[in-house]
Amino acid sequence: AKGAAGHARGARCVRSISRAPISEPAKTSARCMEGADENPVRVSNRDKGYPAKFLAIDLGAESGRAFVGVFNDERVSLEEVHRFPNVPIVISGHLHWDVTGLFEQVKKALKLAVAKGHGDISSIGVDTWGVDFGLFRKRDNTLDLPVTYRDSRTNGMMEKVFSQIPREEIYFRTGIQFMQINSLFQLYSMKQVPGVCLDDFESLLFMPDIFNYFLTGKQVSEYTIASTSQLLNAGSRTFDD
């Protein structure tokens, strides 16, 4: 957790990274797509007496798919509009997610949905795996390609963190299972690389939030995906200070 990591000299730069405001689970769709607005999103098609249509982007670690969901006030029907592979890329010996390539597939899914007669989509949702994140640089807001949880950089990081912060304290604050792939240990592994300081970065977004940002221009952390990071305080429901 951010505050706990601050006890360790090697983790102090974690404090400098700002975290996007967290959207609560009950308001996820409205707040993620509207930049954390308090007002709920209105479903325009239903207001006009037509079925409501939603585009769901489901990104998995090996492939992605897109579905249009149509809700007519009684039932939801699903139509698959796109499938595509998710192939990580190796850069400087580390395994990264090709987020630019994946975003091209998201845009293709939108085009295919429209081509199939769904130009009246009310809302878009993006779902991915947890723990992985991207960092945006201060100087120009560029995104460093996220490293995948399958990369070896977190090997041995749990033990190093536990030598600085008691395991029990981290669990008391976050309440989630310890796995070396958790975002906390990924961030700590970055601090072990000579020449890397998290002070160079302005903000952190988790994988689905990156694509929401690409689509809307708004940086928002959705609560349930943030909870996979071991950076979220389970009591305060905010990133741990």
Higher pLDDT pick, 235 / 35: 235
Quote the percentage of the chain above a pLDDT of 70: 79
Helix (H, G, I), strand (E, B) or coil at 14: helix
- Assigned token pair, 22: 């967290």
Residue pair 120/50 in contact by the 8 Å Cβ criterion: yes
* 15 vs 201, more confident: 201
Residue with tokens 């305080």: 233
Specify the 3-state DSSP secondary structure of 221.
strand
Confidence (pLDDT) at 140: 85
Q: Has residue 170 got a pLDDT over 90?
A: yes
Distance of CA 106 to the CA centre of its chain: 15
Query: Which residues on adjacent β-strands are paired with residue 123?
Result: 54
pLDDT of residue 199: 84
Nearest partner of 197 among 138, 133, 132, 130, judged by Cα: 138
Return the closest-CA partner of residue 232 out of 10, 16, 7, 19: 19
CB under 8 Å to 218, separation ≥6 — which residues?
Answer: 32, 34, 35, 36, 212
Torsions phi, psi for 181 (to 5 deg): -85, -10
Question: 10 Å Cβ neighbour count for 171?
Answer: 14
Confidence of residue 47 (pLDDT cuts 50, 70, 90): low
- pLDDT tens digits, one per residue of 97-131: 999 999 999 999 999 999 999 999 999 999 999 99
Q: How many helices (H) and strands (E) does the chain have?
A: 9, 14
Average pLDDT, the chain: 84
The reported pTM is 0.80
pLDDT, one tens digit per residue, over 200-237 is 899 999 999 999 999 999 999 999 999 999 999 999 99
Whether residue 115 contacts residue 191, with contact meaning beta carbons closer than 8 Å, is answered with no
Alpha-carbon gap, residue 156 to 210, rounded angstroms: 28
